[in-house]
Amino acid sequence: MATDDPARATWREWLGLAVLTLPLLMTAADMSVLFLALPSIAADLSPGSTQLLWITHVCDFLAVGFALTMGRLVDRLGARRMLVAGMSVYGLASLAAAYAPAPEALIGMRAVLGISAATVMPAVLSLLRPMFRAPAQFSLAVAVVMSAFSVGMAIGPPLGGLLLEYFWWGAVFLINVPVAAVLLLSAPLLPAGRGTGAGRVDMLSVLLSLGAILAVVFGFQEIADAQAGSGGEPVWPYAGAIAAGPALGALFVRRQLRLADPLLDLRLFAIPAFSVSLGGMLLMLLAYGGSDLLLTQFLQTVLGLSPGRVGLLMIAPAAAALISGMAAPLLTRLFGAVRTMVGALLLAGVTAAGMALMAGRADPVVLIALVTVIALAVGPLFPIFTELVVGSASEERSGSAAAVSDVGGGLGQALSVATLGSISLVLYQGALRATAPEGVPDEAVRAAGESIGGAGAVAGRLPDEAGRALLDSANTAFTAGVQGGYAFGAVFLVLAAAVVGWFLRGGRVDAAARRKDAEAADEGAAGAGEGAAAADARPA
């Protein structure tokens, strides 16, 4: 019988998989549920503008920044132990955040939430390896947990709206407490591996990795915020932070090459399926990650749709991504992983080019249909990329591999928001200056160029005819910015398809080939590891 085969999962593993979806649903929903609560938080706690930004972003910053460290601890201490610890802290921090008496306390609890959330993805994906040893079942399990993450992102706004309709803003945090409690009570269903228990966590490596990642993410996100704000804020300090990131990253890599027991095992990058999939995911998110921000602004400001109607329309692409994500294992069996990835990226790229052409010419239904096709195309890519990245490593290094995937996703999202925001803003301001109606003061044109949302307020202070003319020019200019953002996305989606198709053209992505590549990387690095150990043992 199939259940007697040790390579096949039993009911216990499938029930454990259901348990593992809980932390992903919770942390993903937390990423989007807070946006609706910000006005209530601002009214109750009266934070400054900078404090409000930190309330919004500090959790994401630290979740990405601590991912590598938590991945290493997952490998060393055991995935279940780290998941239980992380979710215990997450539940307690959520309870404290719900009753935060001041902005500083809420920022502190959001920071704790970010650090504890960093344990989730490495621990969950690491637990899947011993639970689902059959390659087909492992692929399905990855598709399920990545789809749970997508569902969490999608249900965040409606869940927040429902809670805020009847409760105070703290309810968006308080809802995490029972979810964390259910996971902790269900933890015995998960494998109780103790990890390698070997080596130590090099604190200098932790600080270097944290500094490199946080500098880049902080710099890009703050540049995007500065551009969306008053426009008068200098961006050179944030550009300096971005430049410091690669410098710290180079020091981090140099140290990892010298350590016998590094925080990040760089041998993983010698495995083609690992490095190419990670690069493909980074390019895909760079092209696609910030597009929803442009679209929702365009639908509300240029086309005049209400936020509620926009939210309802955006259900279609969310549902499409969920359905196609669950179909990822079937698609890889029918067409192979490489063909599926290349075909999906090309379809998304061509459709993004269609969005660039149709924005400003088509009605909302057509635009949502195009965005739904893009979501349908990229839906399988998240599980496929993640499965290739995590499945390329041995079980002992699966936590580190999952952490690298998490960092790649966080960097791609931050880069996308900042890059697409920069492109659309530059095009918007240039087009507005070129098409500004006569008779409108230069000061009003400059003020309208700060953001499309502010253009309406500026137009409202002008005489009727001049105000309507300025608003028409602003809408036309913002349409040009949206078109430019989607055109950029189309180019990078096609580039990602080319990278994946070229570097994985031999098709070495099946489980047996990846295992062989991983063993070859391990053997090739054995001598280097011994040399590093000797170098590390020498006095400085």
Which domain CATH number covers 119? 1.20.1250.20
DSSP reduced 3-state for 224: helix
Same domain, 345 and 402: yes
Output the CA–CA distances (angstroms, integers) from residue 152 to 28, 142, 175, in the order listed: 5, 15, 13
Domain annotation covers residue 195: no
Q: Residue 353 has what pLDDT? A: 95
| Nearest alpha carbon to residue 428 among 476, 356, 469 | 476
* Domains contained in the chain, number: 3
Token representation of residue 493: 């989606």
- Are 171 and 272 contained in the same domain? no
**Cα three-residue angle 461-297-405, rounded to 5 degrees:** 145
Residue 344 has pLDDT above 90, yes or no: yes
**How many Cα atoms occupy the beta-carbon half-sphere of 517 within 13 Å?**
24
Query: Which candidate, 66, 77, 58, places its Cα nearest to that of 203?
Result: 66
Question: How far apart (Å, rounded) are the C-alpha atoms in residues 388 and 509?
Answer: 7
Q: Radius of gyration of the chain from Cα atoms?
A: 24
- Shared domain for 283 and 372, answered yes or no, is yes
Longest dimension (CA), the chain: 82
Domain-embedded: residue 263: no
Q: Which residue has the tokens 């915020």?
A: 225
**Looking at the structure, do residues 101 and 17 belong to the same domain, yes or no?**
yes
**Domain-embedded: residue 80:** yes
pLDDT tens-place string over residues 96-153: 999 989 888 999 999 999 899 888 888 888 888 788 877 788 888 888 888 888 777 7
Distances (CA, A) of 84 to 36, 177, 183, 189, 274: 29, 13, 8, 12, 28
Q: Same structural domain for residues 243 and 360?
A: no
pLDDT band, very low/low/confident/very high, at 321 (cuts 50, 70, 90): confident
- pLDDT confidence tier of residue 533, bands split at 50, 70 and 90: very low
- Residue 503 — pLDDT band, cuts 50, 70, 90? confident
The pLDDT, as a whole number, for residue 195 is 58
pLDDT band, very low/low/confident/very high, at 220 (cuts 50, 70, 90): confident
What percentage of the chain exceeds 90 in pLDDT?
Answer: 14
Model confidence at 497, in pLDDT bands (50, 70, 90)? Answer: very high
Q: Measured between alpha carbons, how far is 525 from 162 in angstroms, rounded to an integer?
A: 54
In this structure, the answer to whether residues 304 and 447 fall within a common structural domain is yes
Same domain, 372 and 517: yes
Task: Give the range of the structural domain holding residue 213, as residue numbers without chain letter.
Answer: 203-219+235-258
Claim to verify: residue 214 and residue 291 sit in the same structural domain: no
Question: pLDDT of 158-196, one tens digit each?
Answer: 777 777 777 888 888 888 899 899 988 988 888 876 655
The angle formed by the CA atoms of residues 384, 25 and 27, to the nearest 5 degrees, is 100
Region 495-516: mean pLDDT is 72
pLDDT in tens, 24-78: 888 888 776 776 677 778 778 888 766 776 787 788 778 888 888 888 888 888 8
Residues 253 and 348 grouped into a single domain: no
- Examine residue 3 and state whether it is found in any structural domain, yes or no: no
Of the pLDDT bands very low, low, confident and very high (cuts 50, 70, 90), residue 486 is very high
Q: In angstroms, rounded to a whole number, what is the distance separating the alpha carbons of residues 29 and 59? A: 13
- Domain identity same for 215 and 124: no
Closest CA to 471 of 445, 496, 491: 445
pTM of the model: 0.76
415 and 367 within one domain: yes
Instruction: Provide the mean pLDDT of the chain.
Output: 80
* Residue 224 forms part of a structural domain: no
Q: Is residue 226 part of a domain?
A: no
Q: 196 lies in a domain?
A: no
User: Is residue 169 located within the same domain as residue 252?
Assistant: no
Q: Once rounded to an integer, what is the mean pLDDT over residues 434-440?
A: 78
Which candidate, 236, 268, 202, places its Cα nearest to that of 407? 268
Q: Which of 192, 232, 227, 263 is nearest to 417 (CA)?
A: 227
Q: Is residue 2 part of a domain?
A: no
The per-residue pLDDT for 1 is 42
- The amino acid that residue 538 corresponds to is R
Nearby residues of 153 by Cβ (< 8 Å), 6 or more positions away: 28, 29, 31, 32, 318
